[in-house]
Structure 1
């Protein structure tokens, strides 16, 4: 049975364009369109689509408010369309906080190198998030940690699918291994997943952290600033020459690649232009491989939710050096692609639910 999609945008041209692209795939069918957020809320309730594509700026009710209302009344996976501007980035992150699962740039020429590639990517994203069931659990907008009265008032958690009976309920036992770096790679569903993991780490976290999230360059500055406000650790967008410090997380800038130089304890980051032959900028494989050269086996690498297999080969190189590799489990992923690739290859020693990963990192790395 085809995946049923509701397309929401105040532009009739864009509604028609998205509908034509989705209807080209025999596994997708557009059941209706809506011109504003209020219509989207009403049609989500009456039509019960499998996926909704949603614009942000619309009359009557904006896309963020519509996502929040849909998640309360008729939870449905939502793919946001966003402009590649700083304000567009902030609005998109707000939409993800409200419950949206993923986003794409609204200008299709920003999505891919060709029209055919852009069409395929949009179709793939819709099919990927349609596989995830969404549950009602209203999530207030995140409040910066440093404005809160107590650490216990951390970011409200986004609901995830009911765990399987076999899901691990407690963090793995500490291995006793020594570490010098925490590296986390992710893609689709990553912004929310990273928030949940990083808000569990204390300000006294004893190691530097690198974050590789597939995200456009105009988004990573805003995302790093948001994480910094939510977390007890410090978070910044990585810059060329940054010296790695304990309790600091460095987010790879979109459109570039992040590598290491120097020796453990005095390593610096190198931020370089990405090769056009590499699909992902930033690329988890490239950063993980560089970590293997600089840190050897003294790395805990975690692969979170995301499409594709980026991170598998880099994780393989790390494991060959003696590093520890963890993957997010299938039940808690938005898209079980990247973690599955690592798990199926026999590289990950643990597959953990998202709710336990932060706690497990603290226990394993001796924070």
Structure 2
């Protein structure tokens, strides 16, 4: 059965091009298009699509208001189109808070040309969130393992992608100001987004949250968000520090969870706790292998609480996880074990 998609944008040209890309994929079809948020709410009720693509700046009713209304009336996975600016980041984060599951760059040139990359990015994300809705993916039974002591943990590394912003906000609401272990977050985001996201986390957490910068010293009670478009590595010399590097364009993810995890495996070894949260793909799996070889503890988010189970599932399938935890349990466990 085809994935039914509703396209929402006030630009007729953009709606047509997005519809052409979606209809060109045999897995899905566009069942309707709306020019503003109010039409989107009405068509969501009447057409009952499986996924909605949504612009945020529209007349009559803006995209964020539409997302909130849809989540109240008939929840459905929503992908936001976003401008890659600092203000665009703030608006997109508001949309994710309202219930959207992920975002894509609103690149008129790429959409107009219908490049292979934009086609694949758009259709793969639609397929991924639709699978979540229908629960096609099923995880293997978690391995039965004894809980390992975390009393020698010096660093917490968190890797995530799709669904990560909302998941991280949920997690940090449970971590008290008394938490002293430095935390490094690697969230797949564009470069213009990570500063705004760090500021948002900082505003809701008693911990100090900042976008990581070259030479940052890993301090107790501090959280460092890897800058988008770059690669973050940690180093234990000098008491623990962060290094930011230009990314090789051949690396799929910028920042990459694998690269950050690998550096923690090399420099912190068994004193690392790695947490793999919701996300599309398998970034983090190879880094988790190196962490396990070094004696680190690895937690994975469970399927039920993941927006997209790809990243945690990749770790679980390889038997790299020590525990599988629901999102609502991760923060309290961190607070209990390391607080």
TM-score (norm: length of structure 2): 0.94
2-structure distance, mates of 1:299, 1:262: 11
Partner of 2:3: 3
How much does 1:173 deviate?
Answer: 5.2
2-structure distance, mates of 1:296, 1:45: 52
Q: Does 1:286 align with 2:244?
A: no
2-structure distance, mates of 1:214, 1:98: 19
Partner of 1:239: 213
Partner of 2:169: 195
2-structure distance, mates of 1:185, 1:199: 18
TM-score (norm: length of structure 1): 0.87
| CA displacement, residues 128-168 of structure 1 (integer Å, 9 cap, x when unaligned) | 1112339xxxxxxxxxxxxxxxxxxxxxxxxxx9xx9x999
How much does 1:176 deviate?
Answer: 5.0
1-structure distance, mates of 2:330, 2:187: 17
2-structure distance, mates of 1:337, 1:278: 18
In the TM superposition, 1:45-64 aligns within 5 A as 45-64=45-64
The two structures, once aligned, show a CA RMSD in angstroms of: 2.0
> What SS does the corresponding residue of 1:305 show, helix, strand or coil?
coil
In the TM superposition, 1:1-367 aligns within 5 A as 1-107=1-107, 115-133=115-133, 175=149, 177-263=151-237, 266-365=239-338, 367=339
2-structure distance, mates of 1:243, 1:35: 49
How much does 1:74 deviate?
Answer: 1.0
Size of the aligned set, in residue pairs, is: 331
Structure 2 gaps, min length 5: none
How much does 1:267 deviate?
Answer: 1.2
> What SS does the corresponding residue of 1:210 show, helix, strand or coil?
strand
2-structure distance, mates of 1:323, 1:87: 38
Structure having the larger proportion of residues in helix: 2
Structure 1 gaps, min length 5: 135-160
1:109/1:118 contact within 8 Å kept: no
2-structure distance, mates of 1:167, 1:88: 40
2-structure distance, mates of 1:174, 1:293: 20
2-structure distance, mates of 1:333, 1:94: 19
CA pair 199-108 structure 1, distance change in 2 beyond 3 A: farther
CA pair 86-176 structure 1, distance change in 2 beyond 3 A: closer
CA pair 203-44 structure 1, distance change in 2 beyond 3 A: same
> What SS does the corresponding residue of 1:297 show, helix, strand or coil?
helix
CA pair 245-305 structure 1, distance change in 2 beyond 3 A: same
1:167/1:353 contact within 8 Å kept: no
| CA displacement, residues 266-321 of structure 1 (integer Å, 9 cap, x when unaligned) | 11111111111100000000000001111011011000000111000111101111
CA pair 96-167 structure 1, distance change in 2 beyond 3 A: farther
| CA displacement, residues 68-118 of structure 1 (integer Å, 9 cap, x when unaligned) | 00001111110000000111100000000100001001016679xx91021
